Amino acid sequence: MSIFTGAGVAIVTPMNQDGTVNFEKLGELIEFQITNKTDCIIICGTTGESSTLSHEEHLECIKYAVEKTAGRIPVVAGTGSNCTETAIYLSTEAEKYGVDGLLLVSPYYNKSTQNGLVKHFTAIADSVKVPVILYNVPSRTGCNILPATVMKIHELSKNVIAIKEASGNISQVAELASLSKGEIDIYSGNDDQIVPLLSLGGKGVISVLSNVAPEQTHNIVASYLEGDVKESCRLQLEAIDLIKSLFCEVNPIPVKAALNMMGMEVGSLRAPLTEMEPANKERLKKSLENYGIKVQ
């Protein structure tokens, strides 16, 4: 059974002026997402600046998201690490809070062989009972989870049931879909490839775009799954300019800037991330306006 079908938001972590996590604002963002049809909250992912959260902050954000969401939609916690023991610690703690699933990124910086990936992911998955989504994003990690490796991990740890595919390699996704025969749920990790992955049997998207356009992103998936492929494609293409602007600098720099332009007041970023360059900020503002989103 899938953790969710549709558009899950890779939600930002709002910050106070002193750089601490703004939990009141996080609650407002969660309510905004649920009200506007988001199908799942993904907390403490890349977009949530997980790499610069302390372990205590990381777990506090997960606990808060579960409590605030209160079972209305699923909550998936990003608990991956390039250290297997750290990932096990974060995952087992998140499970105690009642998350509906875990998102485990492939090891970054130290990377891994494919056999190492099998050992890493199965060790984490075997430490919990909740469903696990692998996260393949080679552009950030320098490490690609190959389709055969995904299937080996699933064979050894049956609670590994899905993957967030952000390799950008549609041929690789097609190979995985062919090998898995529906046993592995595939979510697009790229907002500009939602429809292509749905066409290969994907279940939806784990989205940055959903932060600023939750209902529209939900509708891209919902239209496709309801059989209106033409409308889904129209909505996908309509969002391309905004998606490009949301990734014209390193995520989550643009999406936080966009939310602040919308009056959401999510605060700044933690170093080494910096505020947007003026030219890119102007580009983003125009993209938001052209998409029909009011900015301040």
Residues involved in catalysis:
135, 164
Instruction: Mention every residue, 6+ apart, whose C-beta is less than 8 A from residue 284.
Output: 245, 246, 248, 254, 257, 258, 261, 276
CA-based nearest residue to 44, from 25, 64, 16, 71: 64
Question: What is the distance between the alpha carbons of residues 166 and 179, in angstroms, rounded to a whole number?
Answer: 18
Question: What is the distance between the alpha carbons of residues 220 and 233, in angstroms, rounded to a whole number?
Answer: 7
Question: What is the distance between the alpha carbons of residues 272 and 288, in angstroms, rounded to a whole number?
Answer: 26
- Mark residue 295 as left, alpha or beta (left: phi above 0; alpha: psi -120 to 50; beta: remaining): beta
The enclosing H or E element of 134 equals: strand 132-136
DSSP, res 35: H
Q: Encoding tokens for residue 169? A: 């390699």
156 phi and psi angles, rounded to 5 deg: -85, -30
